[in-house]
A and B are shown apart, each in its own frame.
Chain A
Amino acid sequence: MGNYQKGASGGIPVSTRVFLILLGLLTGISVAALAEVPNDVCADCHADIVEAFSGTAHGVYLSRTPGAEASCEGCHGSAVDHIEGGDPAGILNPASQDQFGASLLCFNCHRSMGFDDWAFSAHNAGDVSCAGCHAIHSTEYVKADEPDLCYECHVEVQAAAYMPSRHPVREGKLVCGDCHNPHGGPARLTADNTGRELCFSCHAEKEGPFVYEHAPVNEDCLICHNPHGSVADNLLRQTEPSLCLSCHPMHFHATVVSVDGDFTTPQAPERAGTSTSDGWKQGMLTKCSQCHTEIHGSDLPSQAISAGGTALTR
């Protein structure tokens, strides 16, 4: 273990230390003397971390900035008690801190980087500290790439990502951060805080407003879709027609009795087909969107006046 001098005060508070470093950056006054325990002392036990840190953005920035020093104590506070007693609890470990202290340390420097809503975010409330996701001692910014990093906690989302229908996260075409803001607040490039807005930021063609609406599109996209993955096509929560029949009456034509055999249409002989005894059931109870194609809304009326043109078939 290397030599060091214990400060008379037993260690300068981290916030004061960070303030002085920032002051030094602005004024050019060296604050190197603040480091009571040199990094090489830390390296006696944590050689790999100290070595790796010198190559990180933090390490390079601090070491090359006049007046600053890439000191371990810059973030961990005084290491004196830790070295004397060897107790891990004798030094501040941001990774083990909860919302009562940990992230505030980082915000001493990272103030204006889109963290305005952090205090109210689900991650902060859940005690996910900055070090929970970010690799402070590595040249990488985060501990793992998306989505693997997120899957460490959000396992149910990982499971959904393996469903047959999904957003192409598993294929690496999208990442969690395209929809979610891990630092709190609305997602990037969303105009307002409504849930629909997030979906429309990519699926803008479905926003309307349309002349003929489909009520759940106004209400919540999640009524019909599971954005993380589903068994049914198009991220639907269930296959058609079950999903549709959960809200809508079954088409009465489904009960029409069918003829077995080939047929042609009297008024259009070129239209031919082969009917089975279940033909009308198959036609009307397989996939509603074969006819109701404009299910998210339409500006054009459907044919039947008695339905007010609202059938979303055109």
Chain B
Amino acid sequence: MKTINIILYVGLVLLLAFSVVLAEDNETQESTILWIGSHYVDFSDYNKKIGEYLCGEDEWIPELELTYFSRSDNSIFRLDGHFHDDKDIFADARATKGDHFRLSGKYRSFIRQLGQDLLTNVEAREFFESTGNPGGKMLTHELLDPGADYDYKRQEILTEVEILLSRKNNIRFTAAHRSVLKNGERQAIANNHCFSCHLTSESADVVQRSHQIEAGLDAELAGSDIGYRFGYRVFESDAPDPVAYYDPAKHPVHGGAGAEFSSRQVFDDTSVAYSTLPRTEKTSHKVRFKRDLGQGEFASSLGYSIAKNTITDLSSEAYVGSANYAVGLSNRTRLVTRGTVTMLKADDPWIDLPTYRGGAADLNETDFDFTRYSGLDRWDLRFSAEVISRLSPRVVLYVLGGYDRVDRDDYPIWDEGTQTDKFTGQVKLRYRKGLRYSSLVKYRFEKTSDPFVSARGLFELPGYDILEPAVPVSPWIFYWQREDLRYQSITTLPTDKHVFEWRSTYRPSERYGLTIGLKGKYDKNNDLDSLDVQHFSLQPNLNINYTPDVKWTLAAGYTYSFDKSKLPITVALFDG
């Protein structure tokens, strides 16, 4: 979307919003604040990644800030705008008319600086093991745009409208729209992987668009609230795909055996696109239902969404159902239950690959074609129940129990399911003495069996099963035999998790407030084959508030965060 379109779009929203106010004939209150300034940024010690979102020019840039507020009998209009520079603009307009019309529009832009990886670590040559002389495997890189400064400008437009169509049955129409636009340049790296390992870096355009709309109706019928939402999102890239030439396959030293090496590659000696982006469309439908049930409140929803990759014609579907119920068991006790069931299903395409060593004289051809089962396929069940009991006018006790199950159909890639179960328990105690003093203590425990693990990592196809035990013919190439050593259970996710939280607030008067707290977390996984996983974090904090009058609040706080992790990493096994 070009800049002029953005300006026109934002202008249209502002015009609509203004018309709401101008339609009022009655007395109007207005206030306008215009701030004019300037800023300058010095880059004498410029560090790009620290400034991932902070950028500027080392010159004086004018800066504007505008707030306009208008209120009449029944309408409110507010506009906030900030011009920091031409890459960093914010505007927010909101109009409300009674309880029957709301319109808001927002525009914001900023720069994200990506930096350039100079790939300087990619330079190496091996020894020939037999002779001790420099050998054949090489690692090299090439920067085609060494001075490039990669970044993109992100622009977002968001509009929302709510209209009361009928007071009878309180029928409301709501709609929302969001566009996210990214324009700039990124680093694209092509990976040549044959007679030498060679990375080629070049600039690639970033022209990405994501447009999303949502519309729905809500109404009250026969004592129930019902609603429907339709959603649609499209993502596409208008940038040309980067293209790279991939080397002809041959022996890294003597340059021979081209046919043999080529027969091991999906492609070689050709220019093909890489680092492409999909074009996706997502459509969703959701209905919700809510009504008083018995002494409580029942709310539920059913949703369906389908995401399509229109380039590959692959799709994934999601069915989501939720049901929540909250009821007062007595005038001192509430029960809140929450439940969600999700079913995800994605297409499982057949991957048709060239025959490995096709046409080889020794007839050692291998077919690596396979069905790519999706790791997305699963049932996901989440349920929790929380009892909240006021033990005394000042003390409330919360007890929560939860159970989550993830039942994967195909995990992670091949046709083999796994299941993760998680039990959660939480106890919380809150003490409150009016507004003067309050205190909270919470403990949470999670017990997980078989958390998500990456069982075979990148080597996810069933080649392992195909090759073993028929591998030993070629000790030069295959190291699959030892893969079992690498594929022991390994994960960063815990089986036991403990969370502790304490927070106390003291307000000696309406003007002063002091809050002190401590959060701690410890989790571990002792079920792995070798090393344990442990995480520990601690965050004490102190906050002070001073409110001299209703117009002012001064706040100061200090939080110390400590995190420590103990994680396993794999080690290399060289048998090539």
From A61, A88, A156, A254, residue with most partner B Cβ within 10 Å: A156
| CB atoms of B126 and A192 under 8 A apart | no
Q: Answer whether residue B288 sits at the interface, using C-beta atoms and an 8 A cutoff.
A: yes
Q: Which residues of B contact A202 (CB under 8 A)?
A: 180, 210
Q: Answer whether residue A274 sits at the interface, using C-beta atoms and an 8 A cutoff.
A: yes
Knowing A125-B336, A251-B572, say if A96 contacts B316 (CB, 8 Å): no
Query: What distance in Å separates the Cβ of B509 from its nearest Cβ neighbour in chain A?
Result: 12
| CB atoms of A247 and B486 under 8 A apart | no
Q: How many residues of A contact B (CB 8 A)?
A: 128
Query: What distance in Å separates the Cβ of A30 from its nearest Cβ neighbour in chain B?
Result: 17
A281 to B225, CA, bound (A): 62
Q: Answer whether residue A213 sits at the interface, using C-beta atoms and an 8 A cutoff.
A: yes
Question: Could you say which of A155, A168, A205 contacts B517, with CB atoms under 8 Å apart?
Answer: A155
- Contact code string A87-122 (vs B, CB < 8 Å = 1, else 0): 011000101101110000000000110001101100
Knowing A299-B311, A308-B461, say if A290 contacts B122 (CB, 8 Å): yes
Question: Could you say which of A208, A233, A257 contacts B309, with CB atoms under 8 Å apart?
Answer: A208
Q: Which residues of B contact A57 (CB under 8 A)?
A: 71, 76
Q: Which residues of B contact A93 (CB under 8 A)?
A: 434-435
Q: Answer whether residue A39 sits at the interface, using C-beta atoms and an 8 A cutoff.
A: no
| CB atoms of B567 and A246 under 8 A apart | yes
Knowing A99-B334, A209-B376, say if A223 contacts B492 (CB, 8 Å): yes
- 10 A-B pairs with the lowest CB-CB distances in the bound complex, closest first: A279-B124, A308-B461, A273-B123, A191-B284, A247-B454, A215-B412, A204-B235, A248-B457, A249-B486, A245-B569
Query: Interface stretch among A1-9, A13-21, A71-79, A260-268?
Result: A260-268
Q: Answer whether residue B145 sits at the interface, using C-beta atoms and an 8 A cutoff.
A: no
Q: Answer whether residue B470 sits at the interface, using C-beta atoms and an 8 A cutoff.
A: no
| CB atoms of A116 and B127 under 8 A apart | no
Q: Answer whether residue B194 sits at the interface, using C-beta atoms and an 8 A cutoff.
A: yes
Query: What distance in Å separates the Cβ of B256 from its nearest Cβ neighbour in chain A?
Result: 10
Q: Which residues of A contact B575 (CB under 8 A)?
A: 252
From A171, A252, A306, residue with most partner B Cβ within 10 Å: A306
Nearest residue in B to A95 (C-beta to C-beta)?
B435
A49 to B375, CA, bound (A): 58
Q: Answer whether residue A60 sits at the interface, using C-beta atoms and an 8 A cutoff.
A: yes
A62 to B328, CA, bound (A): 32
Q: Answer whether residue B532 sits at the interface, using C-beta atoms and an 8 A cutoff.
A: no
From 126 to 177 in chain A, residues with beta carbon under 8 angstroms from any chain B beta carbon are 127, 135, 137-138, 143-144, 148, 151-153, 155-156, 158-160, 164-165, 168, 171-173
| CB atoms of B276 and A305 under 8 A apart | no
Question: Could you say which of B266, B303, B413 contacts A303, with CB atoms under 8 Å apart?
Answer: B266
Nearest residue in B to A294 (C-beta to C-beta)?
B275
Q: Answer whether residue B340 sits at the interface, using C-beta atoms and an 8 A cutoff.
A: yes
Can you give 10 A-B contacts (C-beta < 8 A)? A88-B434, A119-B324, A127-B396, A137-B550, A144-B555, A164-B50, A171-B54, A173-B108, A249-B573, A307-B459
Query: What distance in Å separates the Cβ of A222 from its nearest Cβ neighbour in chain B?
Result: 10
| CB atoms of B137 and A253 under 8 A apart | yes
Q: Answer whether residue B386 sits at the interface, using C-beta atoms and an 8 A cutoff.
A: yes
Query: What distance in Å separates the Cβ of A104 from its nearest Cβ neighbour in chain B?
Result: 11
Q: How many residues of B contact A (CB 8 A)?
A: 186
Question: Could you say which of B123, B172, B303, B549 contacts A191, with CB atoms under 8 Å apart?
Answer: B303
Name A residues whose Cβ lies closer than 8 Å to a Cβ of B.
48-49, 52, 57, 60-61, 64-65, 88-89, 93, 95-96, 98-100, 111-112, 116-117, 119-120, 125, 127, 135, 137-138, 143-144, 148, 151-153, 155-156, 158-160, 164-165, 168, 171-173, 188-189, 191-194, 197, 201-202, 204-205, 207-213, 215-216, 218-220, 223, 233, 237-238, 241-243, 245-259, 263, 265-268, 271-276, 279-280, 282-283, 286-287, 290-294, 298-314
| CB atoms of A299 and B458 under 8 A apart | no
Query: What distance in Å separates the Cβ of A188 from its nearest Cβ neighbour in chain B?
Result: 7
Q: Answer whether residue B314 sits at the interface, using C-beta atoms and an 8 A cutoff.
A: yes
Query: What distance in Å separates the Cβ of B86 from its nearest Cβ neighbour in chain A?
Result: 15
A120 to B277, CA, bound (A): 39
A41 to B575, CA, bound (A): 89
A99 to B135, CA, bound (A): 73
From B288, B353, B537, residue with most partner A Cβ within 10 Å: B353
| CB atoms of B550 and A138 under 8 A apart | yes
| CB atoms of A119 and B336 under 8 A apart | yes
| CB atoms of A299 and B312 under 8 A apart | yes
| CB atoms of B284 and A192 under 8 A apart | yes
Query: Interface stretch among B1-9, B12-20, B557-565?
Result: B557-565
Question: Could you say which of A95, A156, A205 contacts B539, with CB atoms under 8 Å apart?
Answer: A156
Query: What distance in Å separates the Cβ of B29 from its nearest Cβ neighbour in chain A?
Result: 8
Query: What distance in Å separates the Cβ of A110 from its nearest Cβ neighbour in chain B?
Result: 9
Nearest residue in A to B491 (C-beta to C-beta)?
A247
| CB atoms of A310 and B570 under 8 A apart | no
Query: What distance in Å separates the Cβ of A294 from its nearest Cβ neighbour in chain B?
Result: 7
| CB atoms of B479 and A282 under 8 A apart | no
From B73, B199, B354, B458, residue with most partner A Cβ within 10 Å: B458
| CB atoms of A258 and B49 under 8 A apart | no
From 467 to 489 in chain B, residues with beta carbon under 8 angstroms from any chain A beta carbon are 477-479, 483, 486-487
Knowing A201-B212, A259-B127, A309-B353, say if A158 contacts B435 (CB, 8 Å): no
| CB atoms of B53 and A189 under 8 A apart | no
A165 to B53, CA, bound (A): 10
A300 to B110, CA, bound (A): 31
Query: What distance in Å separates the Cβ of A146 from its nearest Cβ neighbour in chain B?
Result: 12
Q: Which residues of A contact B198 (CB under 8 A)?
A: 265, 268, 271
| CB atoms of B351 and A308 under 8 A apart | yes
Knowing A120-B299, A246-B567, A314-B274, say if A303 contacts B268 (CB, 8 Å): yes
- Contact code string B351-377 (vs A, CB < 8 Å = 1, else 0): 101101000000000101010101110
Nearest residue in A to B333 (C-beta to C-beta)?
A100
Q: Answer whether residue B39 sits at the interface, using C-beta atoms and an 8 A cutoff.
A: no
Query: What distance in Å separates the Cβ of A64 from its nearest Cβ neighbour in chain B?
Result: 5
Query: What distance in Å separates the Cβ of B178 from its nearest Cβ neighbour in chain A?
Result: 6
A119 to B337, CA, bound (A): 10
| CB atoms of A96 and B233 under 8 A apart | no
A166 to B508, CA, bound (A): 36
